[in-house]
Amino acid sequence: MTMKLTITRRVALGLAAGAMTFALAGPATAEVSFAGKTIEWIIPFSAGGGSDTWARFNAPLLSKYLPGNPTVVVVNESGGGSTKGTNLFAARAKPDGLMILGTSGSTQFPYLLGDPRVRYEYKDWRIAMAGPTGGVVYTTPKLGLKGPEDIAMLKDKELVYASQGATSLDLVPLLGFRLMDFKVQHVFGFKGRGDGRLAFERGEVNIDYQTSSAYLKNVQPLVDAGEAVPLFSWGVLDEAGNVVRDPTFPDLPSFVEAYEMLTGVAPSSPEYAAYFAFFTAGFPAQKMVFLPKGTSDEIVAAYQKAFEDMKADPDYQANAEAVLGTYGQVTGALAQALFEKGTTIAPEVRAQVADMLSSEYGVKLGE
């Protein structure tokens, strides 16, 4: 079946055209200066994963273009499927622009599912930047696969996956692997996707996925060395809201293509609708940067302008695609549209997934 976004990229871009001019123009940003200050960029994941790679790429450029050229320090606060560091930000951040938060789908999903560990409210915050991303699923050549064309060989294999938790972004592979009827043991409790990759490298798990930035940096070398076999990407959404191949990985089938390779038909079940809903919430708005409640319009505008200015920087233009993939980082109305899409889920989908997690994985969620 064809699934569509509530706000397509075309509509959001149209909204952005006027709002960006208003948000980034005018003398207000000149009144803001972070000279001599240190800004903490909280990343609620361990080092080495996609969010950490993303933040460490952006941090020096953000420092260069924020007024006063402050030092921007990435602080890893992992734990609780990203809820620990996010709760810390919600409790401690002051509206002075000196602490920002980088979230991912693994921060959004506990919020969407009513995870009792969540003590933060997305609607309290002000978004500075949003960036879509993708991800690639890969396995070990020890299972006998040589490429995506061999994916059917996994149907009779015992697979082990290192998960941050059932309400993290790892819910997407959990739902996806179930649709593919793979026999996967999900080992919960890992503090980040970087830890999952290390478990794969140690041979403790035999199937993994990484978001695009971490895959490009840390997994592609394994593929080149013959130590990992890419299977498929999650794909991206076109302007009609259909899943298509990820342009960062054009040679890999999307999840939908891989499903069709396995089954001979396109996915169309209620289980696919649930998978699609969380994929949409998790990846088109996968990385976001927030300022806390009460932050002034002037500080928000200063951050938005810095993120926009850095995209014209020669270093950014020369290296962004190799580090982040072919995904744009956006501000203004488009960021707001992605923010709203990434933090909204239909109640019936939430109930369906919550019931499945409770009955099959013993995960009890709040009401």
**Domain boundaries defined on the chain:** 9-133+282-347, 135-281
- The predicted pLDDT at position 11 comes to 36
- The predicted pLDDT at position 17 comes to 40
Cα–Cα dist 342/275, whole Å: 14
With vertex at residue 119, the alpha carbon angle to CA 113 and CA 121, rounded to the nearest 5 degrees, is: 75
Q: Answer yes or no: are the C-beta atoms of 328 and 129 closer than 8 Å.
A: no
Query: Global pTM?
Result: 0.78
- The predicted pLDDT at position 366 comes to 59
Backbone Cα Rg of the chain: 20
Residue with tokens 């233009």: 317
Segments of the chain assigned E as strands: 38-43, 71-76, 99-103, 126-131, 135-139, 158-162, 183-187, 207-211, 229-233, 236-237, 243-244, 287-291
Partnered with residue 72 across adjacent β-strands are: 39
Residues of the chain with pLDDT under 50: 1-29, 367
Homologous superfamily (CATH) for 135-281: Periplasmic binding protein-like II (3.40.190.10)
- The predicted pLDDT at position 30 comes to 52
Cα–Cα dist 199/161, whole Å: 9
Domain 9-133+282-347 and domain 135-281 have a common topology: yes
Q: Max CA-CA distance within the chain? A: 63
Residue with tokens 């079940």: 269
| Dihedral angle computed from the Cα positions of residues 121, 123, 129 and 133, in that order, rounded to the nearest 10 degrees | 70
- The predicted pLDDT at position 299 comes to 98
Q: What does CATH list as the number for 9-133+282-347?
A: 3.40.190.150
Cα–Cα dist 259/239, whole Å: 22
Q: What is the pLDDT of residues 77-87, one digit of tens each?
A: 998 889 999 99
- The contacts of residue 62 (CB under 8 Å, 6+ apart) are 39, 41, 72, 306, 307, 310
- The predicted pLDDT at position 59 comes to 97
Q: What is the pLDDT of residues 101-139, one digit of tens each?
A: 999 988 999 999 988 999 999 999 999 999 888 999 999
Single-letter amino acid, residue 328: G
